[in-house]
Structure 1
């Protein structure tokens, strides 16, 4: 009943929006909608350098995708971007609830919610500072820009790995509306739409929404017989664009998202020998074998098939979250210089249940609670391009607060207790930045930029053994921690680009990126475990070429890069105050070098071919560990496949004269072997695999309506999307699996 009410409400809202836009279209019949006129192969204009430019004119490695491309490729959440952008990898931690992004081997090596990501995620120029905020629904998107390598000048927070910008469609004065309804495997119903247009000569609005409703899924809990995978998610966005004068533009945006859905259950991974001592042979060989391998308590999962698991779910397996956000973008053109103010506020709250050991026993069942508030303000001045010197300069301030709690049940463990751990972390960040481009000649341009950042974090932490059964054997957890860490940093970039011809550009750059330090938030039994760690830095060097050949039919971009990553953050064993402790700290140094290429070829107006690949070599060059602890020097970085690639072919042809058209799209992606921990254990890794998708659509000549069938993971590949390596510990390791084959139909109508 609840699902039906949600669908009815969303459908009524879409119908109202569409009706409004249709009425506006009748009043202004000459207005054409941009959505209906958008082509899959349109040139993409990006704002990666805080000014509008063709992607081929930006002297950095950047992958950009239009809203039309994202829709046809069925990219519906941020993690999906990795499949179409080689060099990008997403570790689906907590069943994709805390997705960890990696670009060119650099990623976050912690799964708790309080540590900032290595890759900066921005929605309409507003930074999202924590991983729980990165599993949002993508709808009514104009484009996505993936900036590879540190962005230490123009992007201020935590961009040692890179930055990904998600840009929504903005209001226009032309009336416009669309609605897309799709139904797929596992009883999945998706409804998305938007409508907008001019209200007065100076005011335009746009309303957009998306809901996903699903009953059941591909995973079964053998203990209860229930199918896991229910989804109830609703997201709405409203925008108003006010242009009272030609010089002034004001865009106000508000977003609300509600989600109450099942969280994927963990797959139990044991590594001790059943009925014996030491490690089992299968685990040592890197194989999952529950018939011979058990955990510390002697348990293994007896269920047949990896998509059926046993799960005690003391606190359930539901993920319930809510978020609200508002953003105000104001720009004023003074003539030669534009002043832009970007103000953003987001509030995210989530409660989720999780069987953190992945088995039938209550070894470590958890209820996680996160409450995040963040505020950002940026002011920047941008020059025009009418002189040899162009520049961007600005100031930045952000404030955020995250309060987290983990209530953990260890009823069946030898600890036989329950423990409550909570923290509050507050951050103030300030920055002053500037970047200038100077044309030494008509073909040669020099770029230089600097950013000064001050980061101030305050941290409080408490943990208590609740001892509900009166016989706890748990060591006394740490309580009453109050600490802080302040850091100043100077980062920046210097680069040069040379236009060999209007269609060929060569470039080279050197840059420095910075990610601030922080605190471990997991349970601790010694105060030394909770001492702050400092920031990490990366020195990055890149050379590349961007070309447009065969009269524009072929674009080919190539880049080579080298990353010198220093003081990278990860879990290590250190000696603190004479005691060996496991801490989140500065693990050591690493280097990554590689080659990346992207090409798009349009031999005819009907056929588009696109291919991209990334090859990289990652290595830990110096590892900070206590004597006698594991030394990972020489190992590969986690979340860093040596080879990744994507390929796409789209063919379109008219039928019935020119009244109808058929579009066939096939795309595939590949990731070579990936380790999910610095230990490089095969048991917590995924061998190389392909994912293949397809789509067949029929549409009218004006693209006003479209009917399509689609399929994802058509080969039904079973693969590990995330893994936790607890080798040798008192808890088992666990895996999260990727989605199996899915397929469905969709209908889109545009007004």
Structure 2
């Protein structure tokens, strides 16, 4: 407690010093105005700056001010504000798995690439453990929906999400925000930057989150689970020695030592050993009548209290460092851009992977990731009817993973150690061109050639510390690789009905690379590589700005033909039924999406956005006698998702003060977390409701606010593991309960 009080005092001192420094500026300049929930947003989704309403693809874009008011603080939160986007909070948000329009990764291990590309300041983050970062000092987010295989490349079959930080400017700019909320949660965020010389500007930003308690209780120890200690730093320098040349250097560092959410135990066998229990067959978790294969069930009162053996603890400790260099040079009519990025990530985390008091499957995971990317591209200006982007891309990454697993109380009576090293090299050449066939009609076409080369080594050993192991002999000594060439692309037409209305149609092909299963295996055939998956996507849409700019309304319809999608299946290999991560089959998704923002007055903004989709597995590759999921819905693909927001601002005290009232809500219909479509591993439809009330001065230099998230305290499953019929129980992760707090912001 004394440490926490000292931290609060130190943080307050930092705020006071920052305020004094800002007041000492003789002529402080305000940052460029953030238009909040009104006005247009300029994006770079197509590798050039343009209005979001002029880009002929489906994009959800949000400014830094919107993200702050909605309290979007980590990448997984984006799903609440962008319909069609779903995040499976695997391992308690430690490996968030993104889905867009029904397309997602169906494996929770860290070595497999996602179907949605995540980019931070134009640098790709290739693995899910890297996607749980803290968001701060963000300029905007761009959510690109549908395959982005031409300009973004492999592993974007579902889409791509760009996180773009605020860049240095020649004008001094600074802010600091402190907040305190439920569960003893303290957050301090700030940034400052400006000119050093006439040609050099810098910006420094930081955020820390310190939480002393949590909403989950471990009944075995009485411990409250939910402590957070997270620190993130970012430094940037922008050098513009001439009007033609810009050099942007960025460095990041983050450290995290936080509790990982504990799993909720889900048994599905009858207590009397007669088979599956009636409640589980009906899709209801009932620990009174349902047990696991060892006869155990968690009878703790309330679902936010669980029993957890925690052999390896439940801390998630990680460090991440990154550096990027972005160089742009105007050659006269053509801009040359070079983007170099390097990221290093290391994490050790403990996890009770069975979710119960017994040591059936307790795990310590270790991940070490290094990734390097280099892209060089040429971009024409828009001075002629023909504009284009062309470039070359190279990436190299290495992930080394280890899973130390304790099965002390299981009938295996042992511990096992499984490790792998996976390296990936990818090369690509790409180009996309726009040609104005007339003043209103534009043709877009693009191609990208990719060569993907993965190497994989794998070992596993039964440690047998007690000398009584009954575990089958794990596989060891695997050395393998998979190579694949791919041609992806896009063709589309857009027609400007008027300066404020556009319709468009496109067809595109996306590609996700192949890979390997990394979980423990007992047959070498389980570890054979799987090939890449492809998606053929078709979209028609309209973007309109009506009522003299008061109403923005966008509509899109889409069809995804997903082939050779990757998932866990049971196959016959070498005459034996094995569970493998493989090319599971084919699926299709079609749907409609709409987004509307209405500003009837300068004070009131209303937004609603919805996505309806129908997903279906059309062909499933299952072994004879194994479950056939043909006809089932895809995992992580709710049929309906929607969000609504109302923001009202009114002046007080002769316009010297202002009050902002913001309410937002999101809805997800029933979601299955596995291809089996079992109700026991699903979440029925639910609403999440949030609110915020703030007061600020006329110039928006300071702001005080109170906020609440999930204010109706909805209990819902945010992720689920379906182990039906296996030797381990199923498990759930739960979403956060109601949280609330206060914040204070100063801007200079």
Report the TM-score range of the alignment, normalised by the length of the smaller protein: over 0.9
| Structure 1 SS opposite 2:660 | strand
Question: What corresponds to 2:329 in structure 1?
Answer: 332
Is the Cα contact below 8 Å between 1:449 and 1:494 reproduced in 2?
A: yes
Give, in whole Å, the separation in 2 of the partners of 1:157 and 1:593: 22
Question: What corresponds to 1:212 in structure 2?
Answer: 209
Give, in whole Å, the separation in 2 of the partners of 1:538 and 1:55: 25
Instruction: Name which of 215, 221, 225 aligns with 1:224.
Output: 221
Question: What corresponds to 1:314 in structure 2?
Answer: 311
Is the Cα contact below 8 Å between 1:67 and 1:142 reproduced in 2?
A: yes
- Does residue 1:46 correspond to 2:43, yes or no? yes
Is the Cα contact below 8 Å between 1:17 and 1:194 reproduced in 2?
A: no
- Does residue 1:167 correspond to 2:164, yes or no? yes
Provide the aligned length of Structure 1 versus Structure 2. 747
Instruction: Name which of 25, 30, 33 aligns with 1:32.
Output: 30
Write out per-residue CA displacement over residues 66-121 of structure 1, whole angstroms, 9 at most, x where no aligned residue.
Answer: 00000000000000000000000000000000000000000000000000000000
Deviation at 1:4, TM superposition (A): 5.6
Give, in whole Å, the separation in 2 of the partners of 1:39 and 1:20: 27
Deviation at 1:11, TM superposition (A): 5.8
Deviation at 1:345, TM superposition (A): 0.3
Question: What corresponds to 2:538 in structure 1?
Answer: 541
Is the Cα contact below 8 Å between 1:544 and 1:558 reproduced in 2?
A: yes
- Does residue 1:715 correspond to 2:712, yes or no? yes
Give, in whole Å, the separation in 2 of the partners of 1:419 and 1:6: 41
Deviation at 1:465, TM superposition (A): 0.1
Write out per-residue CA displacement over residues 108-139 of structure 1, whole angstroms, 9 at most, x where no aligned residue.
Answer: 00000000000000000000000000000000
Instruction: Name which of 490, 495, 499 aligns with 2:496.
Output: 499
Write out per-residue CA displacement over residues 150-203 of structure 1, whole angstroms, 9 at most, x where no aligned residue.
Answer: 001000130000000000000011101000000000000000000010010000
Give, in whole Å, the separation in 2 of the partners of 1:522 and 1:22: 57
Write out per-residue CA displacement over residues 353-410 of structure 1, whole angstroms, 9 at most, x where no aligned residue.
Answer: 0000000000000000000000000000000000000000000000000000000000
- Does residue 1:749 correspond to 2:746, yes or no? yes
Instruction: Name which of 192, 195, 199 aligns with 1:198.
Output: 195
The within-5 A match list for 1:52-91 is: 52-91=49-88
- Does residue 1:373 correspond to 2:370, yes or no? yes
Is the Cα contact below 8 Å between 1:108 and 1:569 reproduced in 2?
A: yes
Give, in whole Å, the separation in 2 of the partners of 1:670 and 1:498: 33
The within-5 A match list for 1:457-468 is: 457-468=454-465
Deviation at 1:22, TM superposition (A): 4.3
Question: What corresponds to 2:671 in structure 1?
Answer: 674
Give, in whole Å, the separation in 1 of the partners of 2:421 and 2:149: 28
- Does residue 1:640 correspond to 2:640, yes or no? no
Give, in whole Å, the separation in 1 of the partners of 2:296 and 2:17: 55
The within-5 A match list for 1:257-406 is: 257-406=254-403
Is the Cα contact below 8 Å between 2:695 and 2:703 reproduced in 1?
A: yes
| Structure 1 SS opposite 2:548 | coil
Deviating beyond 3 angstroms after TM superposition, the runs of 4 or more aligned structure 1 residues are 1-23, 37-40
Question: What corresponds to 2:126 in structure 1?
Answer: 129
Deviation at 1:42, TM superposition (A): 3.6
After TM superposition, the score normalised by the length of structure 1 is 0.98
Question: What corresponds to 1:444 in structure 2?
Answer: 441
1:390–1:63 CA distance, 2 compared to 1 (3 A): same
- Give the RMSD, CA atoms, in angstroms: 1.1
Give, in whole Å, the separation in 2 of the partners of 1:216 and 1:307: 14
Give, in whole Å, the separation in 1 of the partners of 2:262 and 2:117: 28
Give, in whole Å, the separation in 2 of the partners of 1:523 and 1:209: 39
Write out per-residue CA displacement over residues 533-552 of structure 1, whole angstroms, 9 at most, x where no aligned residue.
Answer: 00000000000000000011
Is the Cα contact below 8 Å between 1:17 and 1:196 reproduced in 2?
A: no
1:242–1:12 CA distance, 2 compared to 1 (3 A): farther
Question: What corresponds to 2:109 in structure 1?
Answer: 112
- Does residue 1:699 correspond to 2:696, yes or no? yes
- Does residue 1:148 correspond to 2:128, yes or no? no
| Structure 1 SS opposite 2:280 | helix
Deviation at 1:252, TM superposition (A): 0.4
Deviation at 1:277, TM superposition (A): 1.5
Deviation at 1:34, TM superposition (A): 2.5
Is the Cα contact below 8 Å between 1:106 and 1:118 reproduced in 2?
A: yes
Question: What corresponds to 2:528 in structure 1?
Answer: 531
Question: What corresponds to 1:178 in structure 2?
Answer: 175
Deviation at 1:343, TM superposition (A): 0.4
Give, in whole Å, the separation in 2 of the partners of 1:6 and 1:420: 40
Give, in whole Å, the separation in 1 of the partners of 2:567 and 2:702: 50
Question: What corresponds to 1:660 in structure 2?
Answer: 657
Write out per-residue CA displacement over residues 428-469 of structure 1, whole angstroms, 9 at most, x where no aligned residue.
Answer: 000000000000001000000000000000000000000000
Question: What corresponds to 1:589 in structure 2?
Answer: 586
Question: What corresponds to 1:425 in structure 2?
Answer: 422
- Does residue 1:483 correspond to 2:480, yes or no? yes
Deviation at 1:3, TM superposition (A): 4.8
Give, in whole Å, the separation in 2 of the partners of 1:9 and 1:189: 12
| Structure 2 SS opposite 1:260 | strand
Unaligned runs of at least 5 residues, structure 1: none
Question: What corresponds to 1:611 in structure 2?
Answer: 608
| Structure 1 SS opposite 2:38 | coil
Give, in whole Å, the separation in 2 of the partners of 1:391 and 1:723: 44
Give, in whole Å, the separation in 2 of the partners of 1:684 and 1:368: 24
1:524–1:6 CA distance, 2 compared to 1 (3 A): farther
Question: What corresponds to 1:561 in structure 2?
Answer: 558
- Does residue 1:456 correspond to 2:453, yes or no? yes
Give, in whole Å, the separation in 2 of the partners of 1:434 and 1:707: 48
Is the Cα contact below 8 Å between 1:476 and 1:525 reproduced in 2?
A: yes
Unaligned runs of at least 5 residues, structure 2: none
1:241–1:158 CA distance, 2 compared to 1 (3 A): same
- Does residue 1:683 correspond to 2:680, yes or no? yes
Deviation at 1:41, TM superposition (A): 1.7
Give, in whole Å, the separation in 1 of the partners of 2:695 and 2:15: 23
Give, in whole Å, the separation in 1 of the partners of 2:6 and 2:501: 56
Is the Cα contact below 8 Å between 2:37 and 2:605 reproduced in 1?
A: no
Is the Cα contact below 8 Å between 1:18 and 1:194 reproduced in 2?
A: no
| Structure 1 SS opposite 2:461 | strand
Deviation at 1:577, TM superposition (A): 1.3
| Structure 2 SS opposite 1:261 | strand
